[in-house]
Structure 1
């Protein structure tokens, strides 16, 4: 009878050891299966291309998209040149920092080299800023009344009948665009008519 009881005790002890072993193994299996998945690569962002030449900007965008980069003039009245690789970028779509997918359409608005960007794309071009030659100086205005030392009403022969305009000499009359002057016309006086033929400052 004692032998039977001992066998039962040994059998029960063996079962407890097996269950304890399986319990010890279980947490290890659970820990191994809880590993976090690796993160997916992030979507690329549109680079800032403003100010770059089109050739450089296009090279920066090509690796990001599968569609051709579209170029157009920033001015509505200036056509895009066939060779616009050196034209700077004024506007870009999408904006810098926007996510870019392979199918994204990229559009760049350009200006001719040396020209400033307009305020908005498609605007009319401003007048050329190339410095122009200084305009010809305006001729001096003739005096409105003859001097007291003769003039057209006396002293030197007068005869003009138009004393409201006075030219000191023929050079001043020519600068004002009034020469030659015939007798009776404004500014004519005998002192300027050297050959007395009725036409002053004709030579």
Structure 2
């Protein structure tokens, strides 16, 4: 030990008899970071070959996947209806149209409240 008290006895630190770290604490401060660095650098828990990382339980049947069926033409998206007047909207049975619904347009909503072709309006 490097530190001594006023009587010449060795002590554990500059503060006195109770000042320095215990031997077990010092050992832990060295061993734990060293073990963590070894785990990071050596990486024993991962493998580059995924087939060899899982133990085999015996012969298994080959995995078959369902065939991918592709159509010649992609499916067409439904067209959003376009109405020129509220009379067309009423004839289609869609009145009143609210903002965000298919067919709504600002031209059909003269007061701008978000509801087109309201009852009592043109």
Instruction: Report which of the two structures shows the higher radius of gyration computed on alpha carbons.
Output: 1
TM-score range, shorter chain: 0.3 to 0.5
- Greater RCO (Cα-Cα under 8 Å, separation 6 or more): 1
